[in-house]
Structure formats: structure tokens, C-alpha cells
A and B are shown apart, each in its own frame.
Chain A
Amino acid sequence: MSKPNMPIILETQNLTHVFPDGTVAIKDINLQIRTGEFVIVAGANGSGKTVLLRHLNGLIRPTKGKVLLEGEPISKNITAARKQIGLIFQDSDSQIVGQTVAEDVAFGPENLRLPPEEVDRRVKTYLEVVGLSKLAQQSPHVLSGGEKRKLAVAGVLAMQPKIIMFDEPFTGLDYPGVVQVLRQLVSLHQSGHTIILVTHELEKVLAHADRLIIIYQGKIVEDGNPQEIIGRSEQYGVRMPLGKDEGVDAMTWLK
């Protein structure tokens, strides 16, 4: 079910990116995402998913087209846009900037120049939200894969974004790790966040999504209700989840 009554929060117009070597990573992407939507973007390796996400918060500038956040081009105030649109990278290791878990969460709020008491308050709050309070003074380096991803989530939440984007959040996680991240995702969505999730592991999460977008060779080839689209996913290199007979509702690792 989509959310037709909610306002459009994020929009792309003819978004195209050509890398200097000539690779057309994404081509003419037109998207409208509504407040509170849970969108899954699927596609084979190299189809342009990461490049698309990185356009949405302005990490990569488009060759053509633009991104609008609440109707305004993000290029107008890129910092404000990044504050609103959190991105959790695929490789958690390379996004850790703190020597302790708490310090890593403080990084974003400190960049926003919040007063020190507010930074502390947010660090406490969001470590609590992701369940890492006990590890606050640990080196992030010693955390497990699942915990590192939770830390990345806390670091993004501490900036209090409206939209949270996840780039392949299940990669490299064991079963409990996937379940932990999944719980986090669902609860973030329930608390009103707009979620954009890139993955090809549909069987783990599709049941929770409002909408499925399939990218193939840099273009959007399917966009709509997961129930309708899922049957056509395999021709675009996205493996059909096993539980097809049981319907989309069964496609989750959350019991």
C-alpha cells in the first residue's frame, strides 16, 4: 500500500549521471517519494543503486537533472539536505570516525554545531534507541558486524533526519544481525521516518515495504506495489524470493 495522502518529501527529475570514463551509472531517474513511505530499491550488482542513493543527499552531483527535498533543490543548501537525509553506508567500517562508540555518535551533532549538552543528550538518547548504551565507551573497532551497523544507525539518527537511506544493510550479517537491523528498520518506519532501502535480499524485508522499485542498467524498470512487481523481478537479475507461494507477507526474517 502506498501513501497517496502524504506530501511528497523527496523527488528526482531526470536524474542522470555519467562518470568521466563514460559509464552511464543512472539515466533519467524520475522518482517521487512520500513522507512516511518505506521504499525498497532492488537491482543487480552494478545497476546504479549506490550511485542513485548518493545523489539523493548530494554526495554525487548529477550530470543532468535534479533532486528536490520538500520542493527545494538540495543544491541550494546541501548541509540542510544532508541533515534531513541520513545515509547508512554499505561498509560500516569505513564510516566510523570516532575512537569510542559515543564519540562516533557525537560526530554528526558536533558538525551541526549543537551545544555540548545537546550533543551529550542526543548521544545518550540514540545509543539507547539502538541498544548500544552499554558499549558507549568501547572502541567501535571491537563491535560485531550487527553492532557496527547499529552504531552507524545511531550516528545518523543523532542528526534527527526525516529520511533514512540504507545501502545494502544486510551484507555480511549473520541471522541475529539481520534480525536486529530489521527490527531497527521497522521501528524507525513506525516512528514516522521515510525509509529508502537498497537491497537485493528481498526475502528478508519485502513484507515491510510499501513500495518496490527495480533498477536495471541505471534505469527504473519497475515501480509500485511489491505484490504486483515481485513476479517480474527475475528478468532484471533480482532473485525471486523463495516464499513466493506464500505471498509477499511472508518475505521477512522477523517472526
Chain B
Amino acid sequence: MAQIVLFHYFPRNSILHDMDGRVKLICMILFSVVISLVQSIPSFIILTAGLILITLLAARLPFITLLKDMKYFSILILIILLVNSFVIPGRPIPGFPLPGVTIEGVMTGLMASWRLVLIIMVCAIMTGTTSLITLKNVVEWYLRPIPLVPETRIATMINLTFVFIPVIFDTVSEMLSAQKARCVEGRRNPLKRIMFIAFPLLVQTFRRTEELILAMEARCYSDDRTRAVFATTAKDWLILAFSVLFLAVILFYPF
């Protein structure tokens, strides 16, 4: 697996790490909403500066390392920019060699990709400062009041998915090595080679799942489990209030 750290959890001691995950999730959603609403360049700049400061100071995340991982999104960003530049009607750029590129298009494209980068930053801050377990518990907490939604089961499913991902990757790499040892490279047809992995993988995963269900039953699994406890402190409310204020200024001040 490629060593992407962008959405990894970094165990640290920081204001955001200590925050109540439920409040943090609300802040994250507020930020994302404002990011998708802003229109002017100054508000974009202030938001960016704000998020960089939060990453470095409030979350104590390795900003440069995270920034490097943005390269995985570069193609997507480029596509957004290009498509917008050509598709949005408007005035052509004087002296620009390619016909069809408009000033309005480039501006919209720039803002759209800037938005994407900012939202990725928000997500990276959230996942960087919140362990998957907490994230799962937060989701479970928010689903609790919704009727007919089996929140414990959903939380267990989220959890098991994350448990299984590395196991599946390992199984695949093991199978690949085993097949290399039997000269699978001699096979030209890539479809065949995928099948050689896909079928055994499916069989193995099903077998594992069956065992896992039994193992969970053996440990008395039930939907009625101990629930995670959350504690909201004055600090959480302060951060929420501050976020709301900051975002309101960006959204409503006529820059």
C-alpha cells in the first residue's frame, strides 16, 4: 500500500486532540459548509491561513508531510481546473494561445479546486486528531436519536471494515507472492491474473467472515453494549463559539 499519511491519525497532545469528538465534528461540518459558500478571494485567503494555523498550532500536525500527500489529489485538481476553464462561458483570455479558455472559467476552476484543497485540509485535521475508535463512537452517538437506525450495528460495521482492510491487503500481497513464485508473470492476459487473485480472495474473505462471526458470538456480541462516554468541557464550547464567530465573519463581512 502507498504510504499515504494524509488521513492518518497522529497521536499527539493538542487542543484538538483533547476536544470532544462530537463538537469537533460539528466544527468540521461548519467549516466545510462555509468553504463551499465563500465567493471572494480574500475570504479564501483568510480561510486558508486559518486552517494552516489550526493544523500547526491547535492540532500540532506535520503540515509539510500532509502537504506532500496533496499530490495524490493533483490530477483531480487539474481536471477540475481544466474542465471549468473550457466549459464555463465568458470572455476569452487576451493573448492566450488556446481558444475556448475563458477568464470566468479559470476563476471558477481556481475557486473550485481551492475549495477541494480546503475541504481535504479540514478532513485531514479531523482524522489527524481523532482516532478511528472515537470517530466511530461519535457517528454512533449522532445516529442514536434517529429511529429505525441500528446505530450499534453500523458502528460495529465501520469498526470491522477498518479491522479487515489491512488483513485483506496482507492476504492479497501474500497471494501475489505465492503466484509470482509460480511464474504468474508468464500469463499475458491481465484479466486472467485479476481472476486468479479475486476468486481465492473472495473465498478466503468469506471463510474469515464466518469465523469472525463465530468469534464475536463466542465473546457474547450483542447490540446492547457498553456505550462510549463523552465529556464536553467549557473548552469545547469555547472552540465551537470561536469557530462560529470566525466563520460568520468570513461569510458575512463584505470583503
**Which A residues fall within an 8 A CB radius of B?**
54, 57, 59, 79, 82-83, 86-87, 89, 91, 93-100, 103, 107-116, 119, 137, 139-141, 155-156, 159
Question: Would you call B224 and A113 a contact (CB within 8 A)?
Answer: yes
Question: Would you call B219 and A82 a contact (CB within 8 A)?
Answer: yes
Question: Would you call A159 and B226 a contact (CB within 8 A)?
Answer: no
Interface residues of chain B: helix, strand, loop or mixed (majority)? helix
Question: Would you call B219 and A108 a contact (CB within 8 A)?
Answer: yes
Question: Would you call A119 and B226 a contact (CB within 8 A)?
Answer: yes
Question: What are the 10 tightest A-B residue pairs by CB atom distance, in nearest-first order?
Answer: A95-B215, A94-B211, A110-B226, A108-B219, A111-B220, A141-B166, A110-B225, A87-B218, A94-B208, A82-B220
Question: Would you call A83 and B167 a contact (CB within 8 A)?
Answer: no
Question: Would you call A54 and B167 a contact (CB within 8 A)?
Answer: no
Closest A residue, CB atoms, query B162: A99
A141 CA to B162 CA in the complex, in Å?
A: 11
Chain A residues in 8 Å Cβ range of B160: 97
Closest B residue, CB atoms, query A117: B229
Size bin of chain B's contact surface: 20 to 34
Question: Would you call B226 and A109 a contact (CB within 8 A)?
Answer: yes
Given A89-B211, A91-B211, the answer on whether A112 and B218 have CB atoms closer than 8 Å is no
A85 CA to B160 CA in the complex, in Å?
A: 24
Chain B residues in 8 Å Cβ range of A159: 219-220
Closest A residue, CB atoms, query B225: A110
**Is B233 at the interface (CB under 8 A from chain A)?**
no
Least CB distance, B186 to chain A, in whole angstroms:
31
**Which B residues fall within an 8 A CB radius of A?**
11, 131-133, 159-160, 162-163, 166-167, 170, 208, 211-212, 214-222, 224-229
Which of A103, A111, A156 interacts with B225 by CB under 8 Å?
A111
Chain B residues in 8 Å Cβ range of A103: 133
Closest A residue, CB atoms, query B226: A110
What is the count of residue pairs linking A and B with beta-carbon distances less than 8 angstroms? 87
Question: Would you call B228 and A111 a contact (CB within 8 A)?
Answer: no
Chain A residues in 8 Å Cβ range of B224: 113
Chain B residues in 8 Å Cβ range of A99: 131-133, 159, 162-163
Chain B residues in 8 Å Cβ range of A87: 218
Chain A residues in 8 Å Cβ range of B225: 110-111, 113
Least CB distance, A66 to chain B, in whole angstroms:
19
A112 CA to B220 CA in the complex, in Å?
A: 7
Offer 10 A-B interface pairs, CB within 8 angstroms, sorted by A: A83-B220, A91-B208, A91-B211, A96-B163, A97-B219, A107-B216, A108-B219, A111-B219, A111-B226, A141-B167
Question: Would you call A94 and B212 a contact (CB within 8 A)?
Answer: yes
Least CB distance, A98 to chain B, in whole angstroms:
7
Least CB distance, B209 to chain A, in whole angstroms:
8
Given A82-B220, A141-B167, the answer on whether A93 and B208 have CB atoms closer than 8 Å is yes
Closest B residue, CB atoms, query A90: B211
Least CB distance, B196 to chain A, in whole angstroms:
22
Which of B132, B226, B228 interacts with A114 by CB under 8 Å?
B226
Question: Would you call B133 and A82 a contact (CB within 8 A)?
Answer: no
Least CB distance, B173 to chain A, in whole angstroms:
13
Question: Would you call A82 and B217 a contact (CB within 8 A)?
Answer: yes
Question: Would you call B133 and A100 a contact (CB within 8 A)?
Answer: yes
Least CB distance, B78 to chain A, in whole angstroms:
34
Least CB distance, B243 to chain A, in whole angstroms:
28
